[in-house]
Chain A
Amino acid sequence: MSNIPNSSFLIPNLKKEVYFIMIEVKDLTKYYVKNKALDHVSFSLKEGEILGFLGPNGAGKSTTMNIITGYLSSDSGSVKIDGIDILEEPKEAKKRIGYLPEQPPLYNDMTVQKYLEFMFKLKKVRLPMKEHINSICEQVKISDVKEKIIKHLSKGYRQRVGLAQALLGDPPVLILDEPTVGLDPIQIVEIRRLIRDLGKQHTVILSSHLLSEVQAVCDKILIINHGKIVADELTSSITQTGSSTVSLELIIEGRRQTVHSILQKVDGVIKVTDKGECERGCYEFRVDSRRDVRRLIFRAFAKTDFSILSMRPVEQSLEDIYLDIITGKSDTEEAS
C-alpha cells in the first residue's frame, strides 16, 4: 500500500507522461468458464492514435473491447483510460469512452431522435442537446431517418445509429467493434473517412476482418489469435518488416533451365519459383532471398546472353503477413 502514493507524489512530472497514454491495457486474461478467451493481452495507445484490431472469428476482439469499456471484467490484468482505472473509478472512466458494440445497443420501440436523447441523458453529457444531436446526425448521415422507429431501420442505418450513439458527448476514446459491417460501399468510404478525421482528436480502437480497412484507416495494428497478441506494429512498418525474406519478381528472356540454375546460384537466394512462360521465350520467376540481391542478379546475367526484361520487388501485402502469422501460429500450436 505504501508504494502507491510514492509513485504519484514524489515524481509529479511523471503524471504528464502517464496522461499522454490514453488507453493502457495490461496483462488481460479472461476465461469463459474453462475456455480461455484472452491470454495476457497488453498494449497501450497514445492520444490521437487509431488502432486496428485484427483477428479471425473467435480471436477475442470483442471480448477485449468489452473489458476495456467495463462491460465485462477480466480474471486478471488492468485497463486504464486517460490514467483512470476502469474498475476503481468506473464512472469517470466510462465518461471518457464512446462504445459501439458488435451489435448496436438499440431500443427497437423508440424513434432515432428519442433514442439519441435517451443516450445523451444516460451518458450525462453536458452540451446543448438539440444542436449536439443534430450535428452528430449530420456526421453519420441519419438526419433523414430521425423520426423513424428503430425497428423499421435497415441494417446499415442501425449501424449508423449505433455509431451516432458512440459519438454522443464527444468522448476522447472511441471503441468501435466492426464499425463498417453492413454498410454500403459509399458509406464504408465515408465512415472510414469520418473515423480518420475523428482520429485526429480522439483515440480510436476499431476491430475489423478487412485488412484493407485497417490499412486505410489505422496508424497501428494489433493482430490477435486464440486470445494472444501475435503482432503489434505500426501499419507502415508491418508491411516491410513483417517477414524476414525479400521477394523479387523477374521476367527473363533466355533458356528456361539455365536461367533457373543461374538464379539459384546467386548468393543469398533461398528459393526460385518458375512461374511459367509469359511471352514467347520469356519466363517469369519469383526469387525469395535473405537480403537484397538485385545487383548480384544483374551482374550474374550481364555475363550471359540472357536479358532481364523486368525486375520488381514484391512487397508482401498485409494480407500475406496476416495469413502467415495466423496460420503459422496455429500450426505451431497444433504441433505442441
Chain B
Amino acid sequence: MGNGTGIGRVRGLGSAKSGTHHWINQRITAVGNLLLVLWLIFSLLQLPSLDYLAVTAWLAKSWVAVPMILMLISIFYHLRLGLQVVIEDYVHEDGTKFATLLLLNFYAIGGAALGIFAIAKIAFTGAAS
C-alpha cells in the first residue's frame, strides 16, 4: 500500500468503483419502463379483444413490435440492476452471492431474449389469419 493522500488511497477501491453508472442506468431504464409500460397498458385497454387474432395482429405491426422490444430491454435491464442491489444487500457469503448473481444474469438475458424472439416471430411470420 502506498503512502499517498487519503483520497488517493481510496480512489478506485471499494463499492465506489462503478456505482454511479449503475445508479444512472437504473434511472434511465425507470423512465423507459414508465413510458413503455403505460403505453402497453393503455393500448391493451383500447384493443377490442385480447383473443389470439386481435393480439397477434396488433403485435405484428412495426409501430407495436418495435416499442414492445424496447420495453423488454428496458424492463429486463432495470430489473437486473434492481435485483442485483437486493441480492447484494441480503446474500453475504461470497460463493452464494456469486451463484445468485450468475443466476440473475441468466434470468435477465434469457427472459429478454425469449420475449424479443416471440415478438419477432409474430412480426416476421405475419399475424396468423
Query: A and B: real partners?
Result: no
Chain B interface (Cβ < 8 Å from any Cβ of A): none
Residue numbers of A with Cβ under 8 A of B are none
